[in-house]
Amino acid sequence: MDFFDFLKPKKVIKGYIGFYNLTDWWLHKLSDEERKIILIRYNSKGEKNPLTEIELYGTSQTIISYLSSMYTTLADVKFLLEKIEKKLYESFDESDNRMILDMHFFYQTKIGFSLKDKENNLYLDELIASCNKQINFAKKAANAFKKEYKKQPLPSHVGYWRLAVILEKEKKYEDSIKICKQALSQEWAGDWEHRIERCQKKIEKQV
């Protein structure tokens, strides 16, 4: 570095990267090539790039929601996903209900990606791992839903449902029942009682 480099004006990172205080991550955790790939994906046809150049004074998205959308946008660039996901976890604030809900839906997004990646030899293992991540987060998500949407029932829970389906197909009926009972106890919407009854009948037939 030249002795006078510190006197040179530094390029100001604006846009969503600047707004969400992601400048350090953008400049020091991503390579030039990785930044180029991302900028091309967000190219706005010769206008200022929304990631780094536009003037942004506010947005309704949390940083978790924004990084999740970036993860989705770059889903086919797999070597970038790990870095985006790591930054997403680092940015998570569990005291913020909106971030909790956004994290719940991020885990749901990961389940969807794992489900589609059937050419991967570890497809099923990764799908189950994605389900378990959302399940392990389920209590926090349920509490956040109840605080944000008072008097409304909880929505369905993809992680619980998908794992219950997998376990039933593998004839692990007792494990499937356990998952269904856990989802039912947390009040997630779903056909849990019907699935429990069906698995119980299959267990009885095995005796």
**What does the pLDDT read at residue 6?**
44
pLDDT in tens, 133-161: 999 999 999 999 999 999 899 999 999 99
The residue that leads in pLDDT, 42 or 207, is 42
Q: Tell me what pLDDT residue 26 has.
A: 97
Alpha-carbon span 105 to 74, nearest angstrom: 17
pTM of the model: 0.88
Residue 10 has pLDDT above 60, yes or no: no
Gap between the Cα atoms of 60 and 143, Å rounded: 21
- Residue 89, CA distances (Å) to 45, 106, 128, 139 in order: 32, 11, 20, 18
Model confidence pLDDT, tens digit, residues 27-44: 999 999 999 999 999 886
